[in-house]
């Protein structure tokens, strides 16, 4: 399920990462592998929500798990937190909302033993992928966590820096499995910002691309407008040194 493209120029990618502290690796998996993972995300993933609204009752990260989304109480909670994220973002406070399947939690709680999401995370922690990440970043990376994400209509991830260095976070990764030919007007870009809030680089969520970037550094995922199609799928997480 996870065959890495053997033709990647790892030296050139390492040079780019050393220069910019970030890089987008195009076609990092074989086409068949990437299409299989996209199919899992599109048709076999029960989505919950991840949200946060700084300066409200929902200042810390909030999860609404997939089974909770099916109950009226969970739906009411989702609406309340969603409104809070709107208010926080309007003030310029940190906020986010996006669809999520927490793979690590699902494994720990035994939601679907041996299911496809567990297999994906096992491959993310395989020597083959960790070696690719080490070759590109030059970092001592020993393991990764992971979640499936979907940025659907009116979802976003506000500016932040990923400051959990003491937890072993060294490099953030985003494996993109969007629909083909994702249009720039549909948002969902991974943007990197300078201290003045200028966008210094932006990565399109290109199908079968791998974004790697050193943390902490300011970044965001731009707002997905109401006219965008469903399809900004990804596997995301942090590569750790312990």
Among residues 178, 181, 179, 180, the alpha carbon closest in space to that of 211 is found at 178
Among residues 88, 91, 105, the alpha carbon closest in space to that of 51 is found at 88
In this prediction, residue 166 carries a pLDDT of 63
- Say if residue 242's pLDDT is above 70: yes
- Say if residue 59's pLDDT is above 90: yes
Distance CA 139, CA 154 (A): 35
In order of their start, the domains of the chain are 10-240 (2.60.120.620)
pTM of the predicted model as reported, rounded to 2 decimal places: 0.96
- Say if residue 62's pLDDT is above 90: yes
């Amino acid at each position: 399920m996870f065959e890495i493209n053997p033709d990647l120029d790892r030296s050139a990618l390492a040079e780019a990462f050393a220069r910019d502290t970030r890089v987008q690796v195009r076609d990092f998996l074989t086409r068949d592998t990437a299409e299989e993972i996209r199919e899992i995300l599109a048709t076999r993933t029960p989505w919950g929500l991840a949200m946060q609204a700084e300066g409200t009752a929902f200042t810390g990260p909030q999860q609404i798990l997939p089974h909770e989304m099916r109950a009226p109480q969970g739906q009411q909670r989702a609406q309340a937190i969603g409104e809070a994220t709107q208010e926080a973002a309007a003030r310029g406070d940190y906020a986010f909302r996006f669809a999520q399947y927490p793979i690590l939690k699902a494994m720990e709680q035994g939601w679907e033993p041996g299911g496809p999401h567990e297999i994906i995370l096992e491959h993310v922690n395989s020597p083959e992928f960790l070696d690719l990440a080490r070759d590109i970043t030059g970092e001592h990376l020993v393991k990764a966590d992971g979640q499936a994400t979907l940025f659907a209509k009116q979802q976003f991830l506000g500016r932040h820096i990923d400051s959990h260095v003491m937890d072993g976070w060294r490099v953030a990764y985003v494996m993109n499995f969007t629909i083909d030919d994702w249009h720039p007007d549909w948002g969902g870009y991974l943007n990197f910002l300078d201290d003045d809030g200028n966008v210094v680089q932006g990565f399109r969520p290109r199908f079968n691309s791998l974004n790697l970037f050193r943390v902490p550094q300011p970044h965001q995922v731009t707002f997905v407008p109401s006219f965008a199609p469903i399809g900004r799928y990804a596997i995301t997480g942090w590569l750790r040194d312990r």
